Structures are given as C-alpha cells and as structure tokens.
Chain A
C-alpha cells in the first residue's frame, strides 16, 4: 500500500486501490465495507472495501482475517501482507477522508453530517468496484446509523445486489474483516507519518490515541491551540472537543451563519421591531433624520466617516 498520493496533499480526500483480480471480473463476487477512525478528533477517517469471488470466501477465512480491533498493530500489518499476497483473487480500495475534509463538510453552510459523509463514501467505493467491472452479487456492511435505513438506502442505490447491513459485521463476515484491516492499516500509517503542512516547528507527536477522552490527546490539543487559527489541519475542527477548547481559549470569530439571540441578531441587522410599524412615525437616522444616503452608496455599503 503506497500512501504517497495522499501525503502529497493531505488536506483533501484521496482514493487508493489495488489491482482488480481478473477472476473478480468473471465470477460472482462479495464485497465488504468497513471504516477506521470514525471517532478520533485527530487524523483522517479511512473507508475500505475488500472484494473476492464468492467461491473464495473459504480461502479468505483460512487467512484468519479477524476484526481489526482484536488485533495488534503488528498482526494487522502481517494480515495486510497476506491479503496483498492473495492479490490473485482479493482486491481492495480505500477512500481517505482527510480531517480537513471532515471539518469543512460538517461545518459548511449547509451541514453535511458524518453519517451522510460515511454513506456517500461507501457508495462511492462500491460504485468504483462496479465501474471497474467487479461482478458484485453481495455486499456486507458494518452499520453506520440505523441498520435498516442504511440497508434500504444501499439496496435502492444498487438494485440487483444483495445488501446486508449488520452491527459487528467485521467479526461476522471475513470479507468485512479484510476491509477493516485494510482501512485500519492505512489510517495507522497515515497518522504515524502525518506531514504537518503548517509551520509548527518541531511537533510533539505524543498525542495518544487521538480519541477525545484520552488525556494525552486533550493535553496535545491544548498545547497546539493557536489563538487566531485554532488548529493544524490534522485536527477535526467539527469535533466538540476542539470547538469547546477554541471557544474558551481562542479569539472569538463570528460568521454570518452563527446562531445568535433573536433580538441581538435583529438589532445587528437593523431590523425594525414589529411595534415600530404601529407607532405614529418613527424617525430613522440618529443625526439628521431628513437625510437619507443615496442608494448608490447604501447598495455598495459605502458611507462617509466622521473619524478614523
């Protein structure tokens, strides 16, 4: 697995994929989907698919792929090695969602939540497999959000393919386990060698697990908080851990889609109170009520100044 393409620009989403085994184009195949790094406040989230012919599922079982969470890092690396050696019948593809992609998706004007982002990434990978000519008949997925809804969404999106969404699918189906190993190995490698694009000097990489409840992670976040910019792109800004720290320790930044108190916002936007429409005639401007600036200037937000 060469994570070079992602490291070239770790601010965007990136796809890595193996060669498509020839048998997968002629024989009916099954495909597993799993993700790594959903919860951490640091680093990317990696989505992985793994596929092989239905006739080879037993061969996959014999590789003793198991749920990646039950394995040590070395065991995972070894298993990934084995999967790579089985390239005659096993194929994989990964979609790396950089922390920056996650932040900007979740914090944009029209919010794009993590579940939707996850679903769309999974769909994108399945579509990639189909476009590459893999003869998909069955899909196994670990659940994200309510299982039934997800299953329905995927079945509708891919008619003719049997979709099974199941919690703990990564320990039930070998093909999902294989996908989870690919995703996890990839995420580990990326996090380990993260290339900070910001000029942070010598970065202390002792940030623990990256999960919000890890005291080491919290301490690291506190240490690398910039009062103006907040964090490096390694951090998911949309995580409440990061947001809370920025709210309390960094300079307040106001965006025009921030929620504000109704009355305050109304005042700021110069909205008139409903009541003012019922009073006799309320004078508008403070200084010279008769003078109204011409719309050429008001439309362009231009005004004269009294002082600098």
Chain B
C-alpha cells in the first residue's frame, strides 16, 4: 500500500541536538563562548569540526551519530535532521603532531608557534593556548631552552612511546567497557552464556591501535603497529586461491585421476549404501498404477481420437 514518496534533500537548519560535557559551557570563564572551529584532521588530512571552549583552554572533537530516516521532536517543533552531535574532550597534541612531524623532517629545533601554522586552517595556532598543549609537548618532541625561549624538535621515538601508552590506556578502557573487539558482530541485547574473556591480548591491542589510528596519520599508524610488535595483517586479496583453470604449457598432460582401476579384474563395485529411514519408508510405498520416471521421457503416445 505504501506509495512512492519523493525524498527531498535535507535543507540546512540552524539548530542541532548536542550532547556535550558540562565543561564546554563552563560558566566560570566569562565572555568566552565555546566555538566550533574547522581544523586539519590528522588522520584524513582534510577539514573536520572541533570545539574550542573556556577561552581556548579546552579542545573537543565533534562526532555525529547519523542514521538514515531519523528526525527529532524538539519542544514544539520537528527537526528533520535526526543527527546527534557528541562534543567530547580531546588531547590537542594529536592535532599539533602533524605540524611537528612536517617540520621535523628539517631536523631543526624551532619555536613551536612557528611550526603550528596553516594557511588553510588559521585557527590552528589557537591550539597552543590549550592548557595541555605546551605542557605536554615533551611527549612528542625534544625541548631546548635558550634564555626564556623554548625550541622544539619532533622525536619519533618519544612519539611512539607516547602513542603506545595511549593504546595501552585505550585497551584498559575497552576492557572496562566490555567492548567486543573480536571478529564478528555482537548484539548488546543478546547475552552470551560463554564469557568473552577469551579475547586475546592481541585482539585488544589491535583494536586499540585501530582507534588511536583515527587520530594520527597513516604513516604514524604503520610505525605504531611495528612499535607494538604487531604483524601487519595481509589483506585477503593477496591470498586469493589459485585459478582453477589449468595453465597451458608445452609439457605433456597427465591424467589427474586414475580411471584404469575400473577395468582391472579385481575391481568390485561397492555394496549399495544403507538407506536412511526416509528412503526406506519411500521404498515401501505402494507403486501400483504409478508411471515410471522414464516413461515421461519417451516419445508421446498420441491419444486415440474418438
């Protein structure tokens, strides 16, 4: 009965349904409303949306829950866009890291405010104002102090150790939250009798690595995998089964199976297999008056004309 309905594209709306930490709208920092800013996503290298709040002291990432065919009832209005935005705290170091890596190739110590610059995303310099930024730069860079000035140089070794700690902490969180890290999909409403404690450490490490990789470049992700001493998974494409078709060659062709045994004098046919209960009962059926199967394939006998 359902009729075809035309779907019009979602039009822009000026309200959103957001779940955010209380700290985003901290009333103690007056005159500094939280702001959505576009910054370079370290994983995709493209633009993504972030929130800077409390006078740039805190960085948050924005994730949208979005499934087809959802809408909101908000008070007395309907909002067509059924998105749910999550504003969650984020370590600003992830966003600073790509700039340091880029300048690190020159191998020089540089003042960090000259490193974190981006014509495309001018807001990136605000990242350095976050409370955690400058204080935690030593996790990913070597520091040198000359007078009152500080200089930094990217250190892969330090970064890897830092990222490894991040993965380990993620693993702890995954275990505490009972998140399914194994293959296959698990339903949250379906309770298994068997406990899931048999996930091995490697499953957790891999999953944690995958999650952290959402916040670093692909190169770093690969380096981190080596650092965690996890072998790279080979994609199934490379392990495709060999072609079934026989390759043409000049060599004489040998028969794959030996059929000569059927001709040898000591060949005996196998005794007929035992019948299943169903077959037995079928065999007992009264077949009088039934046509044989083969009769259906013989040429038709024309019915006599009356």
Question: Taking beta carbons and an 8 Å cutoff, which residues of A are in contact with B?
Answer: 228, 238, 240, 243, 247, 252, 254-261, 268-269, 287-288, 290-291, 293-297, 299-308
Contacts and interface: CB of A to CB of B under 8 A. Distances in A.
Contacts of B74: none
Given A295-B210, A301-B65, A258 B185 contact: no
B38 A306 contact: yes
Interface of B: 1-8, 16, 36, 38, 41, 43-49, 61-69, 78, 85-86, 179, 185, 207, 210-211, 213-214, 218
For the residues of A in contact with B, the DSSP-based class is: loop
Contacts, number: 84
Contacts of A261: 4
A240 B1 contact: yes
A95 B1 CA distance: 27
A291 B210 CA distance: 12
Contacts of B62: 304-305
Contact of A291 (B1, B43, B68): B43
A306 B39 CA distance: 9
A293 B1 CA distance: 39
Contacts of A296: 179, 207, 210-211, 214
Contact of A303 (B8, B47, B63, B218): B63
12 contacts: A254-B69, A268-B68, A291-B218, A294-B211, A296-B214, A301-B65, A303-B63, A304-B41, A305-B85, A306-B47, A306-B48, A308-B49
B211 A308 contact: no
Given A252-B5, A307-B49, A308-B36, A288 B44 contact: yes
Contacts of A256: 68-69
A260 B4 contact: yes
A258 B5 contact: yes
A282 to B, nearest CB: 13
B49 A301 contact: no
Contacts of B179: 296
A106 to B, nearest CB: 9
Contacts of A258: 2, 5
Contacts of B49: 304-308
Given A302-B64, A308-B36, 20 more contacts: A228-B78, A247-B3, A252-B5, A252-B8, A268-B68, A288-B45, A293-B214, A295-B210, A296-B179, A296-B210, A297-B63, A299-B185, A301-B67, A302-B65, A303-B64, A304-B62, A305-B64, A306-B48, A306-B49, A308-B49
A302 B1 CA distance: 34
A294 B44 contact: no
A277 to B, nearest CB: 13
Contact of B5 (A247, A299, A301, A304): A247
A302 B19 CA distance: 13
Contact of A300 (B3, B45, B65, B78): B65
A292 B90 CA distance: 21
Nearest to A258: B2
B64 A287 contact: no
A187 to B, nearest CB: 25
B69 A294 contact: no
Contacts of A238: 1
A259 B45 CA distance: 39
A294 B210 contact: yes
Given A302-B65, A303-B64, A288 B3 contact: no
